[in-house]
Amino acid sequence: LDMTILSLRESQGDTDESVKLTGIYHNLLRMWADI
């Protein structure tokens, strides 16, 4: 997921969708760290 987000941001720039996806990814990491 991390590599896909990086690739998306490299090819498309910081679109609203890529920024939202990055936020979701970071939230998932925080949730997984709490388990």
3-state secondary structure 1-35: CHHHHHHHHHHHCCCHHHHHHHHHHHHHHHHHHHC
Q: What is the pTM of this model?
A: 0.76
User: 5 pLDDT exceeds 90?
Assistant: yes
Could you give the number of structural domains in the chain? 1
Mean pLDDT, rounded, for 14-32: 95
- Domain encompassing residue 23: 2-34
User: 35 pLDDT exceeds 90?
Assistant: no
